[in-house]
Structure 1
Amino acid sequence: MITPLTILIVDDHPMTVDSYSNLLSVSNFQENTPNFIRSYNCEDAYNKIFFYLNQNTTIDLALLDISLPPYIEFNIENGIDLASLIRKKFPNCKIVLLTMHGEPLAVDKIIKDINPEGFVSKNDINFELFPIVCKKIVDGEMYKSPTIIESQRELFQRNINWDTHDSQILILIAQGIKTVNLPNYIPLSMSAIEKRKANIKGQLLMGKGSDSDLINIAKKLGLI
């Protein structure tokens, strides 16, 4: 007999959580009905993750909406932060991120930071396809929905290369750190930082614009 999966579902719309649960209960997703952990915001999800961790109960699959009410006290701002936490606490858990957005730079950053087993645009999914995709992921496949794949293709075509240091530069500038002080926070020389900053501006602003313009477009794209 197959042991029922324990599945964490986090979305700020209760009807969506119920829909996911129902679809994975009534389909041929698994022989036994999974055990569902339902949550609607980052704080509740954070607490439930640690509750099950302390109970030595494994979370096998996590379905996480990216846009969620944050848990400010512990700097858990969205589903990406929850995914990062789950990676550390339940390394064998398969993570599926769900989003309404597909901006190329934001998609690329999420894939590099989290490398989820599933990355799905909600615009690409329907009731029939959802349990099929989840079963593929549970069975060991990696899945990216068409919108996510197209975002990666667009990024490749634009020849944009983004890494952790680039993201750190943006985040620190957004926090008000002056460029001259960035080497105190990032293990790069001032020359390297200035080149990266110029490259970032070239990618996001076509080389023209202030630091404020840079931060505004980065926020719009979901990069910070």
Structure 2
Amino acid sequence: MCNPIHVLIVEDEPLIIDVLTNALNAISDSNGLYDFKIRSATNSDLALKEVDRAIKSIPFDLILLDISIPPSTDKRILSGEDLGIEIKSLFPKVKVMVFTSHNNNYRLNSILKSLDPDGFLIKSDITYVKLLDAINSVLQEPPYYSKAIQQLIRRHISHNFVLDKIDRQLLYHLYKGAKTQEIANLVHMSKSAIEHRKSNLKTTFEVDGGSDRDLILKAELAGFI
């Protein structure tokens, strides 16, 4: 008898959603072990609606999550990283597979530390066969990390480098041109607290004494914007 697996695909490219859906169906057809119940969302707002639906009915078992998804309207969720953290807090038993085009070690390490995903794949590493193997591995014996992630872990690059949600929001609003007081209002913190965080971020990104623009450029290069 097939085991029902409730899946949410969060990806802003419909073509990739189709590929992931086909992969899940191929796994189901090949082994008969799983009956995938698949839902999808192309942005954070739609994903949050699916999460609310799951809270009221049946929790998700598996999330296939792209990191670079459009933010929520209220800017509470700025990326797949924020969304994944929220989903894991709501569904502690859910398995999360992360897909990303980012290849910057700082960004990848931050995702590893903040999300601790059951699967982590760089899109450029993936073939269809590897995708099937990855999904099967996550379902049966996680974790599954693609080659680039395995190399990152072996090198232990920037093992303490991680930005929290407020840091990511601060960078996002700076990138959009918001001033310090505006950011303070948006994230519900004092102006001095925002300045302190900006100072820490400049140290983190090695632009001590630099301008906000310098910070934005380094954060963008590192894949955080």
Does TM-score exceed 0.5, indicating one fold?
yes
Indicate yes or no: 2:216 matched with 1:212.
no
Equivalences for residues 1-224 of structure 1 within 5 A: 1-27=1-27, 28=30, 31-55=33-57, 57-73=58-74, 75-152=76-153, 156=157, 161-164=160-163, 168=167, 171=170, 174=174, 176-177=179-180, 184=193, 196=200, 199-202=203-206, 205=207, 209-224=210-225
The alpha-carbon deviation at position 196 of structure 1 amounts to 4.7
1:24 aligned partner, one-letter code: L
The alpha-carbon deviation at position 37 of structure 1 amounts to 0.9
Cα distance between partner residues in 1 of 2:165 and 2:66: 25
Partner of 2:187: none
The alpha-carbon deviation at position 69 of structure 1 amounts to 2.2
Cα distance between partner residues in 1 of 2:41 and 2:148: 26
**Of 100-109 and 167-176, the range deviating more from structure 2:** 167-176
The alpha-carbon deviation at position 150 of structure 1 amounts to 3.2
Is this contact kept in 1: 2:201–2:215, CA < 8 A? Answer: no
CA-to-aligned-CA distance 1:40-95 (integer Å, 9 cap, x gap): 2211111011112111x021000011111222225222211221121111111000
Unaligned runs of 5+ in 1: none
2:90 aligned partner, one-letter code: K
Is this contact kept in 2: 1:64–1:96, CA < 8 A? Answer: yes
**Of 147-156 and 84-93, the range deviating more from structure 2:** 147-156
Partner secondary structure for residue 128 of structure 1 = helix
Is this contact kept in 2: 1:5–1:60, CA < 8 A? Answer: yes
Unaligned runs of 5+ in 2: 182-189
Partner of 2:184: none
1:20 aligned partner, one-letter code: L
Partner secondary structure for residue 3 of structure 2 = coil
CA RMSD of aligned residues (A): 3.1
The alpha-carbon deviation at position 149 of structure 1 amounts to 2.8
CA-to-aligned-CA distance 1:142-187 (integer Å, 9 cap, x gap): 121112233445662xx57424479739937946449xx776469x
Cα distance between partner residues in 1 of 2:97 and 2:201: 32
Cα distance between partner residues in 2 of 1:194 and 1:12: 30
Is this contact kept in 2: 1:104–1:152, CA < 8 A? Answer: no
How many matched pairs?
211
Cα distance between partner residues in 1 of 2:23 and 2:54: 23
Is this contact kept in 2: 1:6–1:35, CA < 8 A? Answer: yes
User: CA 1:146/1:169 → structure 2, altered by over 3 Å: closer, same or farther?
Assistant: closer
Partner of 2:185: none
Is this contact kept in 2: 1:107–1:152, CA < 8 A? Answer: no
Q: What is the percent sequence identity of the aligned residues?
A: 26
Q: Give the TM-score, by structure 1 length.
A: 0.79
Is this contact kept in 2: 1:7–1:36, CA < 8 A? Answer: yes
User: CA 1:8/1:170 → structure 2, altered by over 3 Å: closer, same or farther?
Assistant: closer
Q: Give the TM-score, by structure 2 length.
A: 0.78
